[in-house]
Chains A and B, each alone.
Chain A
Amino acid sequence: AQSVTQLGSHVSVSEGALVLLRCNYSSSVPPYLFWYVQYPNQGLQLLLKYTTGATLVKGINGFEAEFKKSETSFHLTKPSAHMSDAAEYFCAALNTGGFKTIFGAGTRLFVKA
């Protein structure tokens, strides 16, 4: 992947509402794709990843993402937001056979009570 674009640096949802965080990558060959979450004063931790196979991948904390090759997208969703989901989320891509993971700029998710 040459770049990873996350649409929206900030997203605000109400508790219980759908969470949708958008990610698009640019690459001629579909890369491996990841979503990481970063809570305040912590390092990034893996939410989920797509390598091969099923295009809908499920991760921790009820999150899932769908790889759509035709749209070069890997959007992250969760049906019902919880206050504890408030964090920064990073989409990332790694070219197959490569080592350098390209991270998006991050999307900060706010959850309103």
Chain B
Amino acid sequence: DAGVIQSPRHEVTEMGQEVTLRCKPISGHNSLFWYRQTMMRGLELLIYFNNNVPIDDSGMPEDRFSAKMPNASFSTLKIQPSEPRDSAVYFCASSYQGLYEQYFGPGTRLTVT
């Protein structure tokens, strides 16, 4: 099992640019989560999908953030336009209902200059 795959691992971009983060969950998992981790705010849940449908996006900071899950094996988190305060490590995690624990990807470290 390859685990949760995220790309890119590192992203450096300039303020105002569009950023797209990608995630491939573990095969067979039907729940997907996007988190953001910073020193100041810790681990924050941004959005949760179940069976490819967004269930709770109350953690999405503002309209500049959007997430999609077109199929069970792929999800994207987009920031447009990006700002320096978006700099953080973004994690994708997946789980299978009934097991409840989440499996995290390695994260994408985003730096916005």
Chain A residues within 8 Å of B, Cβ to Cβ: 32, 34, 36, 41-46, 49, 51, 90, 94, 99-101, 103, 105-106
Contact check, A103 vs B43: say whether CB atoms are below 8 A apart.
yes
| Segment at the interface with A among B14-22, B67-75, B98-106 | B98-106
User: CA separation between A41 and B6, bound complex, in Å?
Assistant: 13
Contact check, B42 vs A103: say whether CB atoms are below 8 A apart.
yes
Contacts of A42 in B (CB 8 A): 106-107
Q: B1-22 toward A: CB 8 Å interface, digit per residue (1/0)?
A: 0001000000000000000000
B31: Cβ under 8 A from any A Cβ: yes
Among residues of B, the one whose C-beta sits closest to the C-beta of A46 is: B101
B91: Cβ under 8 A from any A Cβ: yes
B45: Cβ under 8 A from any A Cβ: yes
User: How many A-B residue contacts, CB cutoff 8 Å?
Assistant: 44
User: CA separation between A101 and B99, bound complex, in Å?
Assistant: 13
B57: Cβ under 8 A from any A Cβ: no
Q: What bracket does the count of chain B residues touching chain A fall in?
A: 10 to 19
A-B contact pairs, 10 of them (CB 8 A): A32-B100, A34-B101, A36-B104, A44-B102, A46-B101, A46-B102, A49-B100, A100-B56, A103-B43, A106-B42
Contacts of A44 in B (CB 8 A): 43, 91, 93, 102, 104
Q: B40-68 toward A: CB 8 Å interface, digit per residue (1/0)?
A: 00110100101000011000000000000
User: CA separation between A80 and B74, bound complex, in Å?
Assistant: 41
Contacts of A90 in B (CB 8 A): 43
Answer whether A43 and B107 are a contact pair too, CB < 8 Å, given A32-B100, A49-B101, A99-B48.
Answer: yes
Contacts of B55 in A (CB 8 A): 99
Select B50's contact among A45, A49, A94, A99, beta carbons within 8 Å: A99
User: CA separation between A108 and B9, bound complex, in Å?
Assistant: 23
Contacts of B31 in A (CB 8 A): 99
